[in-house]
Every structure is written in structure tokens, then in C-alpha cells.
Amino acid sequence: MVRMYGVDCNQLNTIGSAAQAKGMKLFAGVYDITQTASEIAEIIAFAAGDWSSFHTISIGNELVNNGGASVSEVVAAIGVARGLLGAAGYTGKIVTVDTWNAMSENPALCQASDYAAANAHAFFDSDVTSTNAGPYVLGCAQSVSQACGGMDTMITESGWPSQGSANGKAVPSEADQAAAIASLKSTFSSNLILFNAYNDLWKTNNAGTFGAEQYWGIYGTSSA
């Protein structure tokens, strides 16, 4: 399965079509919930009545955690998406995605979703080494599930950076990234999306990203 976050940059046609050609499922998304109707319209147009390759459609990513939207605004956007997608014949899963702590603190986000979808990164806990990334993230998933009344939980982002400054015991390096990914894979047999495919050199750092914001790509920097 391949996760996308929105519809900008023609990603439905480029990434979506490439994933479909490989028989992979799509985790599509609405990035800007103030544009839910128009972004859903683009997803519907791409599907063209065939929803067989879609696993999930997400409405927003970490909006409550970053202050981009309130819980009620996210829930309302999910309602809009459900109406439009249902009318277009989509019967798959619809969720919102937020950080594991935001989901745990705001179970209404889970209740509006078809399962609990949470991002969890062990690197941001200064007491966790790369080799313990898997157990740490599993604990995050269990916390979300418990807070959300036992709902099925998918970790929709988890990984480790290959460059940057250390966050206590959490050290960014290629070796630590490989160790963290191995730990995540050995801990989870399903319900995990690794973050992310390639380094995002267009991103900018802030005080909380330890100089690592651009360097989470499992396959390094794309040559494309």
C-alpha cells in the first residue's frame, strides 16, 4: 500500500497510476480540509467509478496536533467527505490522521473514523534508541486503541531520520535508520505505513525537528 497526503502536484495520476500498475492499494488523502469538496472531486474523477484499488481515504493529517483545525472542524470535514464519496459509490474506509497523542486525547477523532489512524515516531522521544523503535510505536498504537474504546489502530507514519542532530538517545544516522526500520518491521506484521520513501529536501526545519526534517527517506534522495 502507498500513502498519499493530498491531490496537489498531479500525484493521483503519477503515484496512483504507478501503484495500481503494481497491484498496490492506495491510501489517498485530502490535505486541505477547507477544500474537502474539491479535493474529493479530484479523487472521484481519478477513480472513475472503480474503487477496487483504494484501501482508505484520509481527511487531514495532524491538523489538531499542529493547531491547523479544531476537532469539530475535522469531524465536519469527514462528514462532507462521507456524503460525496458515498454518492460516488465508494464503500471503503474513511479516517482522519493525527499524532498518536492527539488521537488519544481526542477520541472524537477516532469515533468519526472507520478505524484509528495515528502517526508515531520514536525518534522524538529522547529516551528511545533506534533498536527500540518498534516496541515504542506498538505502545503508542495500544494507547490509541485503548483511548478509542478498543478500535482497530493503524500507524500511518513511522520511521527514523538518516541525518540531523541527536535527540538524547535517539540518534539520526543511516545505520540507526536501518535499525529502526528493522525493529518496526519485526514488531508489526500489519497496520503500519513506513515514513517515507525518499528524502524531502523541499521541507524546512524548526526548533523541534533536530535538523532532520528532510532526511526520513528510506531510499535516500530520489534521482528523478
Look at residue 62 and tell me if it is in a domain. yes
Q: In this predicted structure, what is the pLDDT of residue 223?
A: 81
Q: Do 91 and 155 fall within a single domain?
A: no
**Which residues participate in catalysis according to the annotation?**
157
Residue 175: strand, helix, or coil: helix
**Domain with 202 in it:** 120-224
Structural domain total, the chain: 2
Mean pLDDT of 128-150: 98
Q: Do 127 and 219 fall within a single domain?
A: yes
Q: Do 77 and 136 fall within a single domain?
A: no
Look at residue 198 and tell me if it is in a domain. yes
Q: Do 82 and 164 fall within a single domain?
A: no
Q: Do 140 and 223 fall within a single domain?
A: yes
Q: Do 205 and 138 fall within a single domain?
A: yes
Q: What percent of the chain has pLDDT over 70?
A: 100
Look at residue 169 and tell me if it is in a domain. yes
Q: Do 91 and 139 fall within a single domain?
A: no
Q: In this predicted structure, what is the pLDDT of residue 19?
A: 94
Mean pLDDT of 35-49: 98
Report yes or no on whether pTM surpasses 0.75. Answer: yes
- Indicate if the pLDDT at residue 224 is higher than 80: no
Look at residue 114 and tell me if it is in a domain. no
Q: Do 10 and 44 fall within a single domain?
A: yes
Q: Do 145 and 62 fall within a single domain?
A: no
- Indicate if the pLDDT at residue 17 is higher than 90: yes
Q: Do 64 and 147 fall within a single domain?
A: no
Residue predicted with more confidence, 207 or 24:
24
Q: What percent of the chain has pLDDT over 90?
A: 98
Q: In this predicted structure, what is the pLDDT of residue 210?
A: 97
pLDDT digits (tens, 9 = 90+) for 206-223: 889 999 999 999 999 998
Mean pLDDT of the chain: 97
Tell me if 32 sits within 8 A of 8, measured CB to CB: no
Mean pLDDT of 183-187: 98
Q: Do 134 and 220 fall within a single domain?
A: yes
Q: In this predicted structure, what is the pLDDT of residue 206?
A: 87
Q: In this predicted structure, what is the pLDDT of residue 55?
A: 97
Mean pLDDT of 82-98: 98
Tell me if 120 sits within 8 A of 83, measured CB to CB: no
DSSP string, 24-35: --EEEEES-GGG
Look at residue 103 and tell me if it is in a domain. no
Q: pLDDT band at residue 76, thresholds of 50, 70 and 90?
A: very high
Burial 175-184 (b: 16+ CB within 10 A, else e): ebbebbbebb
Look at residue 31 and tell me if it is in a domain. yes
Nearest to 198 by CA among 222, 173, 180: 222
Look at residue 1 and tell me if it is in a domain. yes
Look at residue 183 and tell me if it is in a domain. yes
Which of 42, 63, 96 marks a domain boundary?
96
Q: Do 89 and 135 fall within a single domain?
A: no
Tell me if 110 sits within 8 A of 146, measured CB to CB: no
